[in-house]
Amino acid sequence: MIKVLIADDQELIRQSLSIILGLKEEISVVGGVGDGTEVLEFIAKEKPDIILMDIMMPGMDGVEACRSIRSFSTAPILFLTAKTQLGDKA
């Protein structure tokens, strides 16, 4: 079983990814958190096999969290991001 942690500041994204990943029997979403500080707290207690992390989150962003995580965990981190631009003048 692959244990996955989802880190994204948008609850809808966390829920959607959890549903999609939950369709695979070999994957277990063990948690969902909203910022980098919560990521560090979570992985100090749980040991996810992989972390799906948004780059842009309030407080501690994904890049800063990754730097901190590397001091005590070797779990692979996949960065997620979506650029949205309102009022594009193209």
Kindly report, residue by residue over 15-69, the tens digit of the pLDDT. 999 999 999 999 999 999 999 999 999 999 999 999 999 999 999 999 999 999 9
Token pair listed for 18: 């959890």
Q: Which strands form 77-80's sheet, in the order they lie side by side?
A: 27-33, 2-7, 50-54, 77-80
Half-sphere exposure of 33 (CA within 13 A, CB side): 25
Q: Do the Cβ atoms of 68 and 42 come closer than 8 Å?
A: no
pTM above 0.75, yes or no: yes
